[in-house]
Amino acid sequence: MNLLSSRMDGVRGEGAFAVLVEARKLEAQGRSIIHMEIGEPDFPTASHIVEAGKEALDSGWTKYGPTQGDPELREAIAEVVCKQRDIKIDESQVVVTPGGKPILFFPILSLLEPGDEALYPNPGFPIYESMINYSGAKAIPIPLVESRGFSLDVNVIRDKLSDKTKLLILNSPQNPTGGVVPEEDIRAIAEMVLERNMMVLADEVYSRIYFEEKPFSITSIDGMLEKTILLDGFSKTFSMTGWRMGYGVMPKWLLDAVCLMMVNCNSHTSSFSQRAGIAALRGPQNCVQDMVAEFAQRRDLIVDGLNNIPGFSCTKPGGAFYAFPNTTQTGIPSDELAHRLLHEAGVACLTGTSFGDYGEGYLRFSYATSRTEIQEALTRIDKIMSGL
Ligand SMILES: Cc1ncc(COP(=O)(O)O)c(C=O)c1O
């Protein structure tokens, strides 16, 4: 029996979780697997944040709380958002959510309906397309351009905009490419958005993980705060994936709708996790700085290593913790190549196509694993590819 609604037809999962399950199965059979599939920092959550979480549990932060989020945490978020992006907002514009994902789910469902169109980066975080599909709106992919550091082509966006376009999703630094969209492109996009009746969803969940130029936020442009849903969170920046802590900043009319969705779905974000979030934002930041410094070293190691493997070429990503090599010269389709690397080399990575059709010809390696493991993975891949 299958009684699912037709709305479920376009809903997709995440390749990372599927490959993780497959890789774990191989490990259970005694195989040695290097995990480069999952997008999760390998560092423990910093001890001052963990302590704050424990203290919160001990002192009774174990009850229901406000839907929009702990007011003290929202204040801390507003301070950080203002400082980081050089903008002015206050805590009334912030909603705290269980991870950043609800800032895709709830605003997309609140905004989009059949007849609308939404533009999204492809290859991109798979949840974008999935959620647009679920809303009933038309999902229109904007291909990323490798030769431009995987930025979006502003002219393609201009061509695809129509009277039906209600939403454009931006993600910088980007998953899966690690690309950072240059300020000039963001300014050109903002110009188009400002003259239309539409919103931008700026997914800045990797905003603090960058290696050269600080990523530019579209919210910093005059007039754009009113037209932007900003998504950020704690999972990546503070290595807090399991705490489920994210947040959004958006205009009041949409924030009220998102809070309504929260009431209908999860009531609010975990009370004690939110207390730990205050410690993360207001406490020492060297955990973030040290993590980013280590990612920078790993990035150089993996990019150089991948560029020495026959058939692979990899541009240097400016942020996040992903390498996205072009593998077209191997002549092997991406799905098959990822499958072979897992089964023959014991290296779990993702096929570019798990991020959309324009991901064909690429693989994604998450370098949120030790340099020793990265080196071992490179040796194993090289052995397989050199033997072909
Ligand atoms: C681009 C992007 N946005 C949002 C998220 C959501 O992360 P979380 O829900 O853990 O905050 C992720 C996680 O992988 C991501 O890569």
| Axis-axis angle for helices 371-386, 286-307 (nearest 10) | 20
Interval 318-352: pLDDT, tens: 999 999 999 999 999 999 999 999 999 999 999 99
101 within ligand 1 shell (Cβ under 6 A):
yes
C-alpha of residue 321 to centroid of ligand 1, in Å: 12
Instruction: Work out the average pLDDT over 188-211.
Output: 98
The CATH superfamily holding the domain 6-44+286-386 is Aspartate Aminotransferase, domain 1 (3.90.1150.10)
244 within ligand 1 shell (Cβ under 6 A):
no
124: three-class secondary structure by DSSP = coil
Instruction: Work out the average pLDDT over 281-296.
Output: 98
C-alpha of residue 177 to centroid of ligand 1, in Å: 14
Interval 152-181: pLDDT, tens: 999 999 999 999 999 999 999 999 999 999
Interval 106-120: pLDDT, tens: 999 999 999 999 999
pTM over 0.95: yes
Q: How open is the CA angle 175-180-182, to the nearest 5 degrees? A: 145
C-alpha of residue 1 to centroid of ligand 1, in Å: 33
The DSSP symbol for 269 reads: S
93 within ligand 1 shell (Cβ under 6 A):
no
Dihedral of the alpha carbons of 11, 16, 22, 25, in degrees to the nearest 10: -120
Instruction: Work out the average pLDDT over 179-193.
Output: 97
Query: What's the confidence (pLDDT) of residue 14?
Result: 84
State the span(s) of the chain assigned CATH 3.90.1150.10: 6-44+286-386
- By most ligand atoms within 8 Å of CB, the mutation choice from 20, 175, 205, 229 for ligand 1 is 205
Interval 240-264: pLDDT, tens: 999 999 999 999 999 999 999 999 9
CA distance 203 to 224: 14
Query: What's the confidence (pLDDT) of residue 16?
Result: 82
What are the distances in angstroms from CA 21 to CA 28, 70, 240, 343?
A: 11, 35, 21, 13
CA distance 151 to 153: 7
Helix (H) or strand (E) holding 278: helix 271-282
Query: What's the confidence (pLDDT) of residue 388?
Result: 66
Asked if pLDDT for residue 13 goes beyond 90, the answer is no
CATH architecture group of domain 47-282: 3-Layer(aba) Sandwich (3.40)
CA distance 230 to 85: 11
Asked if pLDDT for residue 191 goes beyond 80, the answer is yes
| C-beta neighbour count of 277 within 10 angstroms | 32
Query: What's the confidence (pLDDT) of residue 41?
Result: 95
State the span(s) of the chain assigned CATH 3.40.640.10: 47-282
101 contacts 14 by C-beta, under 8 angstroms: no
The per-residue pLDDT of the chain, averaged, comes to: 97
326 within ligand 1 shell (Cβ under 6 A):
no
Residue with tokens 């979006």: 152
CA distance 130 to 180: 23
